[in-house]
Amino acid sequence: MTADELAELFASIDSDYFHPHPFTRVEAERIVNYSGRDIYLVHSDASGRPVAYGMLRGWDEGYTIPSLGIGVRSDAYGQGHGRRMMEALHAAARERGAPSIRLRVHPDNARARGLYDSLGYREAGRERGEILMVLEL
């Protein structure tokens, strides 16, 4: 994937609730050329169009439990792309031996909360005004 393709995907993700880093071309270039322990993935639809972006971060900072984040292209909601991205990230975390995964979700983000609940995440408190959720692997 090129930085331009990733930047185009970033531009199509609603950043009201998902804003882990700037969604800029510069950040896309950094991620495309990234080499480290954290994981950044892109999921494409059947036509090859990138529709979801996901990450597991924290390993570079020495954490054993990674933080997960995903964003889906707003015109691709409700098609299972978020679930497939989550499943790929779960598999990657298991492969790395992570005991669990954590994420934060805004209390008003019902779509994401429903997905996380359906995947077995449980509420573990509040952090920075958001709901902290954990999945035991």
pLDDT tens-digit profile, the chain (137 residues): 999 999 999 999 988 999 999 999 999 999 999 999 999 999 999 999 999 999 999 999 999 999 999 999 999 999 999 999 999 999 999 999 999 999 999 999 999 999 999 999 999 999 999 999 999 99
Q: What is the pLDDT of residue 53?
A: 97
In this prediction, residue 21 carries a pLDDT of 94
Tokens representing 94 are 């298991």
For residue 96, what are the contacts with CB-CB under 8 A and spacing of at least 6?
59, 66
Residues recorded for the chain: 137
DSSP classification of residue 110:
H
Q: Which domain holds residue 72?
A: 3-136
Q: What is the mean pLDDT of the chain?
A: 96
The reported pLDDT for the residue numbered 76 is 92
- pLDDT at site 25: 96
Angle between helices 25-32 and 3-11 (to 10 degrees): 130
The whole-model pTM stands at: 0.93
* CATH code of 12's domain: 3.40.630.30
User: b vs e for 66-105, b when ≥16 Cβ sit within 10 Å of the residue's Cβ?
Assistant: bbbbbbbbeebeeeebbbbbbebbbebbeeeebeebbbbb
Number of domains in the chain: 1
DSSP code per residue over 25-70: HHHHHHHHT--SSSEEEEEE-TTS-EEEEEEEESGGGT-SS-EEEE
Q: Which amino acid does the sequence have at 64?
A: T
Give the pLDDT confidence score for residue 72 in this predicted structure.
Answer: 96
